[in-house]
């Protein structure tokens, strides 16, 4: 069975332009979300939308999260949203965003959702072993993992960001039939990468130039399509 996924991330909604990062347009995040939702509904037509975190730019910006949340409500497919390291903690985040179940079985695949991983030294992340229940029952269903920070080992990608306990997470993932890992955090994004123990991709930032999101399709546990969708940034002028 085919599972088509659209994935957006790293809107970094902020009231003012971020002068230190001129190519990031977080002050236009609601307009970017509106435009992406329309493209996804009209053109991409996925089975599910994944939103991989850093919706706002600062964890204390709860009011901005409340303001941008309704902009996701027009999506026509099921949606899974997780917080990133720039968002409020999950217990606040999910006051405004729909809280996903630990895993979702859809079209012959399972999406395991990891919203509770914590930050670690050097912009890294860490996962507690108790989070393993999010893989669901070991019944042979191929699992796609979703978390904000990429799970990669040294030298696998150009991103320096990963989990401090990545090796153990990968061991656990493979023992739970994980076939792919979906993350963001690295704003340039990264195409699907397979020369590693746990293949993965990184979703690009929606609001940081070139301003894009991705869609991809799994068919019987294999990736068969991957597309980068570039945003029309007319509203920035």
Containing 36, the helix (H) or strand (E) segment is helix 29-39
CB 110 to Fe ion: min, Å? 26
Scan for tokens 């968002």, then name that residue: 87
Closest C-alpha to 76, from 43, 104, 106:
43
CB 53 to Fe ion: min, Å? 7
Q: Which of 13, 50, 52, 54 binds Fe ion (CB under 5 A)?
A: 54
Binding segment toward Fe ion, per CB under 5 A, in 4-12, 14-22, 67-75, 128-136: 4-12
Cβ proximity of 177 and 138 under 8 Å: yes
Binding segment toward Fe ion, per CB under 5 A, in 7-15, 19-27, 67-75, 90-98: 7-15
In the complex with Fe ion, which residue's Cβ is closer, 10 or 117?
10
CB 85 to Fe ion: min, Å? 7
Q: Which of 3, 5, 7, 10 binds Fe ion (CB under 5 A)?
A: 10
In the complex with Fe ion, which residue's Cβ is closer, 1 or 89?
89
Q: Which residues of 95-133 are buried (b: 16+ CB within 10 A; e: fewer)?
A: ebbeebeebbebeebbbbbbbbbeeeeeebbebeeebee
Question: Helix (H, G, I), strand (E, B), or coil: what is residue 236?
Answer: helix
Give the span between the Cα atoms of 188 and 9, in whole angstroms: 11
117 binds Fe ion (CB under 5 A): no
CB 41 to Fe ion: min, Å? 25
Binding segment toward Fe ion, per CB under 5 A, in 8-16, 174-182, 191-199, 219-227: 8-16
Binding segment toward Fe ion, per CB under 5 A, in 5-13, 98-106, 107-115, 131-139: 5-13
208 binds Fe ion (CB under 5 A): no
Question: Helix (H, G, I), strand (E, B), or coil: what is residue 173?
Answer: helix
Give the span between the Cα atoms of 156 and 153, in whole angstroms: 6
CA distances from 101 to 127, 135, 227 (A): 18, 11, 27
Q: What does the binding site for Fe ion look like in residue numbers (CB under 5 A)? A: 10, 54
């Amino acid at each position: 069975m085919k599972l088509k996924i659209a994935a957006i991330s790293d809107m970094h909604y902020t009231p003012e332009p971020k002068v230190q990062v001129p190519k990031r347009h977080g002050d236009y995040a609601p307009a970017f979300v509106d435009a992406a939702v329309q493209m996804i509904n009209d053109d991409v037509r996925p089975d599910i939308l994944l939103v991989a975190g850093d919706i706002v730019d600062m964890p204390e910006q709860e009011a901005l999260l409340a303001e941008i949340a309704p902009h996701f409500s027009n999506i026509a497919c099921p949606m899974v949203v997780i917080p990133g390291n720039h968002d409020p903690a999950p217990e606040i985040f999910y006051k405004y965003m729909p809280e996903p179940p630990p895993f979702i079985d859809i079209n012959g695949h399972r999406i395991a959702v990891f919203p509770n991983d914590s930050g670690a030294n050097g912009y890294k992340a860490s996962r507690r072993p108790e989070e393993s229940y999010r893989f669901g029952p070991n019944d042979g269903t191929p699992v796609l993992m979703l978390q904000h920070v990429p799970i990669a080992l040294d030298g696998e990608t150009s991103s320096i960001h990963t989990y401090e306990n990545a090796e153990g997470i990968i061991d656990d993932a493979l023992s739970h039939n994980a076939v792919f890992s979906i993350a963001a955090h690295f704003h340039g994004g990264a195409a699907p990468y397979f020369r590693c123990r746990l293949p993965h991709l990184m979703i690009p930032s929606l609001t940081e130039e070139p301003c894009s999101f991705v869609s991809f399709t799994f068919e019987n546990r294999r990736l068969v399509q991957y597309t980068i969708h570039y945003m029309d940034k007319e509203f920035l002028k």
